[in-house]
Amino acid sequence: MTFPKKSKFYKNAIYNLLQRTIDKYASYNINMDYTQKEFLESRPQRLCKMCGKCCRVLTASISYEELKKSAEAGDKSSIEFLDTFEPYPSLEDALKADEKTVKNIPDYQNRTFYRCKHIGDSNLCPRYEVRYDVCRFFPSSPWAVVPPECGFEGWLFQQREFHKQHIRKLKEEAIFYKAKLKTNISEHEKGLYEQLIKKINERVKLYDKYDSEKW
């Protein structure tokens, strides 16, 4: 059934549709944790080549000193990290262990690199059943830096593209809604478009740290 464009029914249908879209975007933003959970559960473990590179040479986003302080203050993830990994004595040692992986990190000269204290020559994890989240959830996001030739490389690229497409689509929608604001619409409809634009901007902002401005 179709309604004439100026009819009350048509307008109500539009308002309902806009309100549902606002609610959907609001729930997206609240459910970032859910998105993260979905990502972790969707990782195809069969892609892991069991090369052990991610256990043998890795770095952290904060310095070794900061990690130790944070562990002393009781931070669970820092305690678990230091219980699993030990720092290489020097950058040269890390380079000797795996030059490609070290040099894959943009500012590698200023980083501390670590190795697992437990891994054996077979690359099998001796703590597999009790390993901490830092190991269990690797790679932990589409933007995780993995060693070159890691089996997850291509899949992570796909995941990043998926998020980028989603954000690009939302940005296009925002442009459309902004154009709508300049047309002859009711104050109520205008308010709904403004809420939609706000929700989209909030969503895009969640991806700021990944440079979403440029997508």
* Site map 2..41 versus ligand SF4, x via CB under 6 A: ----------------------------------------
Which residue from 26, 40, 51, 79 is in contact with ligand SF4, where contact means CB under 6 A? 51
Site for ligand SF4 in 156-215 (CB under 6 A): none
Running DSSP on this structure, what letter comes out for residue 108? G
Residue 52 is a binding residue for ligand SF4 (CB under 6 A): yes
Sequence-ordered list of residues with C-beta below 8 angstroms from that of 88, at least 6 positions apart, any chain: 57, 94, 97, 112, 113, 114, 115
Shortest spacing between CB 83 and ligand SF4, in angstroms: 9
Rounded-to-integer distance, Cα 29 and Cα 23, Å: 10
Within 122-186, residue ranges assigned H as helices are 133-136, 153-181
Half-sphere exposure of 35 (CA within 13 A, CB side): 16
Phi first, then psi: what are they for 18, rounded to 5°? -65, -40
Which residue from 22, 53, 57, 111 is in contact with ligand SF4, where contact means CB under 6 A? 53
Running DSSP on this structure, what letter comes out for residue 118? S
Nearer to ligand SF4, 136 or 169 (CB): 136
Which residue from 118, 164, 166, 190 is in contact with ligand SF4, where contact means CB under 6 A? 118
| Footprint of ligand SF4 (CB under 6 A) | 48-55, 84, 116, 118-119, 125, 127, 131, 135, 146-147, 150-152
